[in-house]
Amino acid sequence: MRALVSYFDSFTGGGSGITLPAFVSILPLYYAMGGVALAGVLITYRIITSRFGLRLISIREDELAAEAMGINTAHLKLYAFLISAALPGIVGGIYARYVSHIEPIGTFPLLTTITMIVMCLFGG
């Protein structure tokens, strides 16, 4: 990740990172986080009560049977992955705005990277 950030130094600021102007008040960030939390709850409710949610449940229960019923499990898994990655990405953007400075070394230290890889290996 550091190499990628360093390569696009005109966009990312390279090793020195990006500094944003500080907020006068932290209240807009609280509202933004509250809005994202509310959006997460509403999106989850809409997914659970929709045909998309029923298809995801059928994949969870028996993927082979879902495929036999004509459900494209690969596409649905991809959509579920994209939805599950969208909200944390938005929250990460809000957090980056909160800290007002992002740099590759402080954001992606070696121990954090190793921890994430080990968690993926053991957790799946």
Q: Nearest Cα to 5, choosing from 74, 108, 90? A: 108
Whole-number pLDDT of residue 97: 82
Question: For residue 21, what pLDDT is reported?
Answer: 77
Average pLDDT over residues 101-107: 69
- What is the pTM (predicted TM-score) of this model? 0.68
- C-beta pairs of 35-41 under 8 Å, 24+ apart in sequence: 36/87, 36/90, 36/91, 36/94, 39/87, 40/87
Per-residue pLDDT for 108 more than 70? no
Pick from 23, 7, 42, 33: nearest CA to 99: 23
Termini Cα distance of the chain = 21
Q: What is the mean pLDDT of residues 89-94?
A: 88
Supply the angle between the helices 73-99 and 27-48 in degrees, to the nearest 10.
170
pLDDT confidence of residue 13? 67
Does pLDDT of 57 surpass 80?
Answer: yes
